[in-house]
Amino acid sequence: MSKKTLLIEDNAQNSYLATYLLEKNGYQVTHAADGLKAIEMAKSSNFELILLDIQLPSMDGYSVARSLREIKSMAAIPIIAVTSYAMVGDKEKAFAAGCNGYIEKPIDPDRFISEIEKIVTNSKSKEKNK
């Protein structure tokens, strides 16, 4: 896996930290600061992973996830919500919208990559068993 990743995040500090951690661990990161741009990028690129903030300008992450799942080439790509939305029901809303995983912000730099890899592994395992 070349780990070609789309990071959908509008906060510069969050984007910087996530990118640093991902690139340090061999991921190739492409950025999108809003959902509409991310959807267009996903249509023309073959990402292997999407990290998705939920609170985005113009279109929330739930809508972005649902839209990404409508793109045939994105159907099996793991989408992980990386969000500060941590109220009761928020995780379930992310899964219902099409996310495969959920990581709360602020991210823990010591566990971020291992959390991602665990979610990706579980997602691929579920996809094989369909």
Band (125; pLDDT cuts 50, 70, 90) = confident
State how many domains the chain has.
Answer: 1
Rounded Cα gap, residues 96 and 3, in angstroms: 25
Band (48; pLDDT cuts 50, 70, 90) = very high
Rounded Cα gap, residues 50 and 94, in angstroms: 13
pLDDT recorded at residue 2: 62
Report pTM.
Answer: 0.94
Report DSSP state, residue 40.
H
Which tens digit of pLDDT belongs to each residue from 52-108? 999 999 899 999 999 999 999 999 999 999 999 878 889 999 999 999 999 999 999
pLDDT tops 70 at residue 1 = no
Count the Cβ atoms, other than its own, within 10 Å of residue 29.
18
pLDDT recorded at residue 70: 96
Rounded Cα gap, residues 112 and 27, in angstroms: 13
pLDDT recorded at residue 27: 97
Average pLDDT, the chain: 94
Contacts for 124-129: CB closer than 8 Å, 24+ residues apart: 124/78, 127/76
CATH code assigned at 53: 3.40.50.2300
At which residue do the structure tokens 């249509």 appear? 43
Please give the residue range of the domain that contains residue 41.
4-128
Who contacts 66 (Cβ-Cβ below 8 Å, separation ≥6)? 97, 98
